[in-house]
A and B are shown apart, each in its own frame.
Chain A
Amino acid sequence: MIFAEWKPIDELVEKLKAHKKVLLVGCATCVAECAAGGEKEVETLAPLLSMALKKQGCSVEIITATLEKQCEFEFVEELIEKGHDVDAVMSLACGIGVQAMADLFDPIPVYPGVNTSALTIREEAGLWAGRCAACGDCVLGETFGLCPIARCAKSLLNGPCGGTRGNGKCEVSEDTDCIWNLIVERGDERGQLDSLAEVKKSKNWSNSRHGGPKRVIREDLR
């Protein structure tokens, strides 16, 4: 899922304090899964924001809504009626949802209420970990299903750097596995360590953001 987390309340207050009526919008997909922007979070954040704004002497009315999907225009359109008299929108969706709102509510400002930071899996309750970097050139078939682009701090393609800690953790954090240590372990268990012995050539990053903004046309669907 797309992972996001709340921005600091102070930052949100700073954005909203000059407004009169704000629509706070959640999304029931990824950000609900990661407990940052679902209906529950929207209804929790709204009173917190009201209180914080009041403390600063700002009287801002906050109305709320949570869309089934904020990343599709069809769903966002549902809100045009409800938000017809607001002078600002705050979205708790990922950056895709925020931009969909911004397009449809233009010229009313739409502020992000969360920081979108990764494509993750929920490893256990309350623990999310990055799994994909959307690099546009998937190598999982060569690394036993463990991604060295998203899960190695240096996106290395030819094995672990010299920074692997003695306990198999990454130099960047005590709590993060060196993914190359796990790739090698898995390859070894399958008796396929040899497949990692070949030098992997420099990667072509151009099918990701590095190649310019993504735009895909599928003629068969038009």
Chain B
Amino acid sequence: MKNLSGSNLEYTLASGVFAVTAEVGPPKGPDAGEVKEKAAVLKGFADAYNVTDNQTAVVRMSSIAASKILYDQGLEPIMQIVCRDRNRIAIQSDLLGAHALGLRNVLCLSGDHQSAGAGGKLNGHPGAKNVFDIDSIQLISIVKGLGKGIQESGDPISPAAPFFIGAAWTPFGPPEKFRTIRLKKKIDAGANFIQTQAVYDIKRFAEAMRRAEDMGLTEKAAILPGIIVPRSAGMLNYMNANVPGIEVPDEMIQRMKDAQHPKVEGIKITLELVDAVKNLSGVKGVHLQAIEAEGLLPDIINEAGLLPRP
């Protein structure tokens, strides 16, 4: 497998190493120091780091800027792009800029609707006009096109701007029957790697992986299940009830409820989940998130036996 884009993540996956990605959410202000602090905590513990693009429709430092800050700190970013805020002109322009800055991984997403406003915790901008000129799958096609030296319009660019292209997969969202087909569409459009919505129900995820494998998808793209470190029964309950596509088994919620030290139990559960997905056919890595608690990840990644990173 050739490393076409110059992405370290692509190289890691191509060489058959079980990959680790983590997430760095940009701050709500302009302080590069905040990004650098998170970078310092996580450096060396993952192969690449997702930089979110105004997630939950809350204005944050731009994904491209925060990605560049990470890059300058020696971490490889996965720049996330959502279709909510920019049309195909702006997105392609940003992609060329990102490429010029040395960024090589892109994760293509639809994006939370602007009414989300951090789930009502912040004002957000519910009165904003949304764009959605293209959808996430069309975005993948566009990124792929730039890699071949062609803009969406068909106009050529030179040199080409190859990226290692990522996409998301929500295997348990309704209509569940269509979710594998949609995954295939993303891969057909050009997705090279897939990060999934957080997985807690291993049995169901194994079935979804089997469906993907049966369609030949695991051969064509590297699937990295997402795991969000659980920190309390309340958090698991909340995600189970409110976050589309996240299914938490009742036993796991009960286990966290019964735990004397829920945070320790949450780490234990995370390690068990990593171990379980590692053994699933077709899984090529893991996407670890510890929301507002990135400091937990180095120990978890170490205890999961995933160090040192290549």
Contacts and interface: CB of A to CB of B under 8 A. Distances in A.
Nearest to A201: B138
Contact of A163 (B141, B184, B244): B244
A86 interface: no
Contacts of A153: 113, 115
B50 interface: no
A44 B189 CA distance: 56
Contact of A171 (B135, B152, B197, B244): B244
A162 interface: yes
B165 interface: no
Interface in A162-184: 162-168, 171-172, 178, 180-181, 184
B185 A171 contact: no
B135 A154 contact: yes
How many B residues are at the interface, by size bracket? 35 or more
B173 A164 contact: yes
Interface stretch (B62-70, B126-134, B277-285): B126-134
Interface stretch (B35-43, B174-182, B251-259, B287-295): B174-182
Given A158-B185, A162-B245, A185-B175, A172 B132 contact: no
B112 interface: yes
B138 A157 contact: yes
Given A154-B132, A162-B170, A165-B244, A196 B188 contact: no
A196 B181 contact: yes
Q: Summarize B's interface: helix, strand, loop or mixed.
A: loop
A188 to B, nearest CB: 6
B297 interface: no
A153 B83 CA distance: 12
A79 to B, nearest CB: 35
Contacts, number: 109
B135 A184 contact: no
Given A158-B135, A162-B245, A193-B181, A202 B173 contact: no
B113 A171 contact: yes
Contact of B173 (A162, A188, A201): A162
B138 A202 contact: yes
A3 B136 CA distance: 31
Nearest to B140: A199
A156 interface: yes
A160 interface: yes
A175 to B, nearest CB: 13
Contacts of B61: none
Given A155-B132, A156-B132, A171-B116, A164 B174 contact: yes
Given A164-B170, A205-B133, 14 more contacts: A154-B83, A154-B110, A155-B132, A156-B135, A158-B136, A158-B137, A160-B173, A164-B173, A165-B174, A168-B174, A185-B175, A197-B184, A199-B138, A202-B142
25 contacts: A154-B83, A154-B111, A154-B135, A155-B135, A156-B132, A156-B135, A156-B136, A158-B138, A159-B185, A160-B182, A162-B110, A162-B197, A162-B244, A162-B245, A163-B113, A164-B170, A164-B174, A166-B244, A178-B174, A181-B174, A184-B175, A184-B177, A199-B137, A202-B134, A205-B133
The 8 closest A-B pairs by CB, nearest first: A162-B170, A161-B110, A158-B137, A184-B175, A156-B135, A184-B178, A159-B182, A202-B138
Interface of B: 83-84, 88, 110-113, 115-116, 130, 132-138, 141-142, 152, 168, 170, 173-175, 177-178, 181-182, 184-185, 188-189, 197, 244-245
